[in-house]
Amino acid sequence: GPKVLQIPSHQIIDMGQMVTLNCDPVSNHLYFYWYKQILGQQMEFLVNFYNGKVMEKSKLFKDQFSVERPDGSYFTLKIQPTALEDSAVYFCASSSSAETLYFGSGTRLTVL
C-alpha cells in the first residue's frame, strides 16, 4: 500500500539545538499531519497542513514549532529551540481525502 517515509527513525540532540524532522508523504496526497506520542501516552494531534498553509494546530504546537513543504518536497517539522519535553515519537501522516490517513513509522526524538 501507500507508504509515508520518515527519516531518520531516531534523532538525539542537545536541549536548545534546532531539529528538523523529515516526512516524505504519499506522492499524490494533499493533506499532511504531525502527531506526537510521548512514551506510554496516547497519540496527540499537533498540526495539519493543506495547500501550503497550516489549517489547524493544537496547544501542543508551541511557538518554537514550524512546518513547511517547500516545492512539494519533504514535509518538515522544525523545532527551534528544543526543550526536554519535546522528547517523543513524532508521526507524520498524509491523506488524499481524509478518508484514510497513512502514517509513517515515526521519528523518535530524544532531547538531552
Partner 1 sequence: GQQVQQSPASLVLQEGENAELQCNFSSTATRLQWFYQRPGGSLVSLLSNPSGTKHTGRLTSTTVTKERRGSLHISSSQITDSGTYLCAMESGGSNYKLTFGKGTLLTVTP
Footprint on this chain of partner 1 (rule: CB under 8 A)? 31, 33, 35, 37, 41-45, 48, 50, 55-56, 58, 89, 91, 95, 98-106, 108
> What's the min distance (Å) between Cβ of 13 and partner 1?
19
Q: Which is nearer to partner 1, 13 or 101 (CB)?
A: 101
> What's the min distance (Å) between Cβ of 37 and partner 1?
8
Residue whose grid cell is 513509522: 105
By three-state DSSP, how is residue 70 classified? helix
